[in-house]
Structure 1
Amino acid sequence: MALGLFRVCLVVVTAIINHPLLFPRENATVPESEEEIILKMQAHQEKLQLEQLRLEEEAARLAAEEEALERLAEEGQQQNETRTAWDLWSTLCMILFLVIEVWRQDHQDGPSPECPVGDEDELPGLEGAQLRGLTLPSKAALERFSERCIRGATADAARTREFVEGFVDDLLEALRSLCNRDTDMEVEDFIGVDSMYENWQVDKPLLCHLFVPFVPPEPYHFRPELCCARRPVPLGRQGYGRIEVVRATEDARGCVCGKTTLGEDMLCLLHGRNGPARPGSELETLLCAGGSPYLDTLRVMTWFQTALTRAWHRIAHKYEFDLAFSQLDSPGSLKIRFRSGKFMPFNLIPVIQCDDSDLYFVSHLPREPSAETPASSTDWLLSFAVYERHFLRMTSKALPEGACHLSCLQIASFLLSKQSRLTGPSGLSSYHLKTALLHLLLSRRPADWKASQLDARLHELLRFLEKSLLEKKLYHFFIGNRKAPEGMGLPEAIRRAEPLNLFLPFVLQRSLYRKTVDSFYEMLKNAPVLISEYSLHIPADCQPTPQSCCLVGRTGPGGPGRRAPHGPTPLGAPAGPVPGERRAS
């Protein structure tokens, strides 16, 4: 009971003490008025409304952007579908065109019998002269023609080569004796190339082509650059290259003279005293183009002709004939002129070897109507003559005995030569004939070249030429030909290059193309008559050279003499009474 009263009293005392009116607190806050509370609530409400408006605007903007993105995605999808459909249609059209082209090449052997009047490349009036209608003489007539005329005309080729090689050996040795090995070019041994060394020369006079490699004096060397090794290859530059003259110990982009201090009495042969990085005055004046480290073909021709002239004057007293240049625009087109009036022409061609391969850079070759003129005098023509000679030798080992491949080339070359004398030269050359034969040798089995199949292979060769002319396509046998034998050691840049079309000039020179095709079909028309006539009656220019005109005795580099149609430009050597023999000492 007492405990309960105590609790009641404690509650009453606590309530009295905590009453705000009896005992006010110092930090107690006065309740806010009702108006202030209402104002704060209104301000907060306005703030909330502004935030709501901002959120609504943001939501509307996001919705608009999303709608625009969806619209762009739909348009992009439609464009992709349209592009895909167009690409598919273009692919189908291309495949269709390729199928048509393949079918046309496989089933169309000659030109269309109907020639459109407005097409300048079509040649109306040649429909009846197609190769399909050509009738060659019988197999016996072809064999008789090859045996009596062609082989008889080339019977003295070995003696001609022997005489020319002996004389050239003596001439080059004299040239070496005149050169300073420290400053002049070093001339190496010659290399026989072309038809005389491939055993299919038929045209008269017999003509030897000899490559004469040369190298610079130490410490310089030649750095070849193949145009076909670059990508992309300029049009018409696949068969060319350039040759840079550099020091053996310097980088192609700099010289050691720039990294060391030269004394007052020392001079860099490449750059002079203060000049930029380029060949020095001696080599530049002699062989290089002005302001360039690359060899100039015109200066090389001048240097070579001057060197040959000096060498001939050194040994002229030993011989009883004159030596002269037959073509001044060719570096080594020479003729030996005997007192009897006979001539023996031959070509010495200065060349530069491409690295360690059998590929050579040639400054000049005999001009042909379809040959392209180099864009610059620093452009050197690539020659595969040594590779072609090796390929023919390698192929001959696998062919049957007495194979007819060279006979086919000889007959075709003989017909082309006779036609050129009748109607003048055309864009078709003997090199084109040899290229066509090389393609056929690679595609045909060895058993197909038996001697008994001479007529079939000759007809196939002429047919291949006709198709190539009509399509204006005859690809080089080595450049870009992946089927060429790998064992020949061709540079990899040559194998991977784009194929070179030898008939590309016909695309640009329509008058030359028309003349070439006219001449080719005229040759086909005349072929049966020429072969038959020459088989029965051997003309004077096809008969072997009489013994009286041949130089049998030799006391030095002597041998048989040949005649030439035109007089040469003399080098100043005296003529003597007995051609082909040395003067008596």
Structure 2
Amino acid sequence: MQAGIFKVCLVVVTAIVNHPLLFPNNETSVPANDDLIVEKLREREENLKKEQLELERLLSHQEPQGEDEIKTESKEPEGGPGWDFWSTVSMVIFLMIEVWRQDFKDNNSHEQSKEEDDQVFIGNNCHGVPLPNKAMLTIFHDQYIRATTHDAVRSREFVEGFADDLLEALRSVSNRDTDMEVEDSICIGSMYENWRVNRPLMCDLLVPFAPPEPYHFRCQTWVSDPSIGPDKQSYGTILVCGPGDEPSSCLCDKKRLGEDMLCLLHHPPNSDNKKVNKDLNLLCSRNTNSLDVDQVMKWFQTAVTKAWSKISHKYEFELTFNHLDSPGALRVKFKSGKVISFNLSPVVQYEDSDLYFISHFPSRTREVSSSTYWMLSFAVYERRFLKDFAKKLPDNSCHLSCLQIMTFLHSKQCHITGPSGLTTYHLKTVLMHLLLSRPHSDWGNVMLEDRLRDMFKSLEKSLLEKKLYHFMVGNGKLPDTVNLPEDFRVAEPVNLFRSFVLNRDLYQKTLSMFYEMLRNATVVINEYSLHLPNGNGKKPH
């Protein structure tokens, strides 16, 4: 009996010591194929049987045996039922350990693969990557970036004047009683925040529109409507409503009128309300009162085409749509060959604020497929913040220079590796967060190199954590001078990197692109600096 117990213990210890999971051997690996595992188990079983036979032979010569034990052994031949019992127990224990190992491996394989994917870039951090020194950065910015944007002022003036003329023509060809009312344009974006770098120099203008009286739009955001889920943050819906609070209703519907009675105040016999309803329904999603992004895009393109046909004789250039999937991406081509592009985007104002629902962002893709969800633009507030905050910074502050250089590097890297999940809006968001986290005195022009590295570090941290919060929504540090509506100031923060959590391939591609951009930063800037007009070569195009 004692010998059997000793044998079992010896077998278990042998199995544990030789187990590749508990005591791994660098030269061996767990077979990935089930057939290989089974074959290996068979080999181990045969080896164990041989070891057990050898142990039995040794023990039979070394153990003191009494007369009773000798009698017992004489009755029980070698390899009999007793030995089979202990062999079976040993094998069961061994197989239980093997099953446990397989379960442990299966449960952790998925987690390990995720960790390996997420940690593949460990060591590629920006702390050890050299960036161009301050002198080189200053030369590059002063002589290349400023040279490429010297005609920005003239481009802005032309676009604003032409947009005003085009919108005025649009109003003249519209029916005031049935068509949408178009307001004056609002200038937003990098061109008007003075950090645009890439050509063509693109101006972005918002064009608010509203339905004719007595109709109005009722906007619902994710912070005001619980039915809009967290997957649609920064989106909202727009309902077309009549004189009352209910969509397309008559105020007199709330009164107890007979079924055969007609409200002559809101539905006079010769009114055009049926015509208005029909026109508005064309802009709504089918069988709903929700304003449809695609229908509005078609309406706006048709309206701009009619307006241009009225005033085209006044101008000596061609006007075309730059992208058919964007409602107001326009392209002006002069006879000289010069081209000016700008975006004229129809928007709906949210209540009495400077928030606007926009159908498409020129530089961002829609994350929802439903055409009844509109993206919410904080561009007016962002421009106001940057303008007001610049007054508190030192003269010739480097904050916009950092953003311009980083945007330039991002653009060049995208030409090499293709677009990823990282956009210029993310870079701008990183800068705005950084502006609130550092003292005003840290943004002097002499600190350009340090602040640029801070931007890279902050962006890297956000990418590794897959968290970059929207600057306006739920930001307790936001200055009161921005005058953001309270509902958005106290709302839950919106993670702009949420797509990286849901799309691992996009995340890996973006992270690879970021580190490639970081490693190429010095080479790219030095290359462009060597070819500046005062250098040995020509300025690159």
The TM-score with structure 1 as length reference comes to 0.68
Q: State the alpha-carbon separation in 1 of the partners of residues 538 and 301 from structure 2.
A: 33
**One-letter code aligned to 2:523:** V
Shift of residue 341 of structure 1?
Answer: 3.3
Query: Aligned ranges for residues 532-543 of structure 1 at < 5 Å?
Result: 532-538=526-532
1:183 maps to which of 178, 184, 189: 178
Q: State the alpha-carbon separation in 1 of the partners of residues 448 and 268 from structure 2.
A: 72
> Residues 27-53 of structure 1, C-alpha deviation per residue, up to 9 Å, x if partnerless?
xxxxxxxxxxxxxxxxxxxxxxxxxxx
**Which residues of structure 2 form unaligned runs of 5+?**
1-110
> Which residue number corresponds to residue 227 of structure 1?
222
Q: Secondary structure in 2 aligned to 1:521?
A: helix
2:477 maps to which of 459, 479, 483: 483
Structure 2 contact 242–248 (Cα < 8 Å) conserved: no
**One-letter code aligned to 1:524:** L
Q: State the alpha-carbon separation in 2 of the partners of residues 255 and 227 from structure 1.
A: 28
Shift of residue 246 of structure 1?
Answer: 1.6
1:170 maps to which of 160, 165, 170: 165
Structure 1 contact 335–344 (Cα < 8 Å) conserved: yes
> Residues 162-204 of structure 1, C-alpha deviation per residue, up to 9 Å, x if partnerless?
1111111111111111111111111111111100000000001
2:432 maps to which of 433, 438, 442: 438
Say whether residues 1:521 and 2:518 are aligned partners.
no
Runs ≥4 in structure 1, deviation > 4 angstroms? 249-254, 267-270, 539-545
Shift of residue 387 of structure 1?
Answer: 0.4
Q: Secondary structure in 1 aligned to 2:232?
A: coil
Shift of residue 365 of structure 1?
Answer: 1.6
Q: Secondary structure in 1 aligned to 2:519?
A: helix
Q: Secondary structure in 2 aligned to 1:192?
A: strand
> Which residue number corresponds to residue 330 of structure 1?
326
> Which residue number corresponds to residue 343 of structure 1?
339
Q: Which moved more, 1:234-243 or 1:192-201?
A: 234-243
**One-letter code aligned to 2:398:** C
> Which residue number corresponds to residue 383 of structure 1?
377
The TM-score with structure 2 as length reference comes to 0.73
Q: State the alpha-carbon separation in 2 of the partners of residues 222 and 173 from structure 1.
A: 23
**One-letter code aligned to 1:238:** Q
Shift of residue 250 of structure 1?
Answer: 4.8
> Residues 266-325 of structure 1, C-alpha deviation per residue, up to 9 Å, x if partnerless?
38877x69xxxxx9323112x222222221111110100000000011111111111111
Q: Secondary structure in 1 aligned to 2:212?
A: coil
Q: Secondary structure in 2 aligned to 1:236?
A: helix
**One-letter code aligned to 1:536:** L
Q: State the alpha-carbon separation in 2 of the partners of residues 254 and 325 from structure 1.
A: 37
> Which residue number corresponds to residue 114 of structure 2?
119
Percent of aligned pairs with the same amino acid:
53
Query: Aligned ranges for residues 236-275 of structure 1 at < 5 Å?
Result: 236-251=231-246, 254-258=249-253, 259=255, 261-262=261-262, 266=269
**One-letter code aligned to 1:352:** V
Shift of residue 125 of structure 1?
Answer: 5.5
> Which residue number corresponds to residue 365 of structure 1?
361
Q: State the alpha-carbon separation in 1 of the partners of residues 227 and 478 from structure 2.
A: 23
Query: Aligned ranges for residues 123-522 of structure 1 at < 5 Å?
Result: 126-231=121-226, 234-251=229-246, 254-258=249-253, 259=255, 261-262=261-262, 266=269, 280-285=277-282, 287-366=283-362, 368=364, 371-522=365-516
Greater gyration radius: 1
**One-letter code aligned to 2:459:** L
**One-letter code aligned to 2:373:** D
**One-letter code aligned to 2:326:** S
Q: Which moved more, 1:330-339 or 1:517-526?
A: 330-339
> Residues 389-412 of structure 1, C-alpha deviation per residue, up to 9 Å, x if partnerless?
000001001111111100000000
Shift of residue 208 of structure 1?
Answer: 0.3
Shift of residue 247 of structure 1?
Answer: 2.6
> Residues 348-374 of structure 1, C-alpha deviation per residue, up to 9 Å, x if partnerless?
000111111111100112264xx4432
Q: Secondary structure in 1 aligned to 2:352?
A: coil
- Structure 1 residues 543 and 215 mapped into 2: Cα distance closer, same or farther (>3 Å)? farther
Number of residue-to-residue matches in the alignment: 421
- Structure 1 residues 182 and 206 mapped into 2: Cα distance closer, same or farther (>3 Å)? same
Shift of residue 127 of structure 1?
Answer: 3.6
Q: Secondary structure in 2 aligned to 1:398?
A: coil
**One-letter code aligned to 2:286:** G
- Structure 1 residues 497 and 199 mapped into 2: Cα distance closer, same or farther (>3 Å)? same
- Structure 1 residues 432 and 121 mapped into 2: Cα distance closer, same or farther (>3 Å)? farther
Structure 2 contact 219–238 (Cα < 8 Å) conserved: yes
Q: State the alpha-carbon separation in 1 of the partners of residues 113 and 168 from structure 2.
A: 62
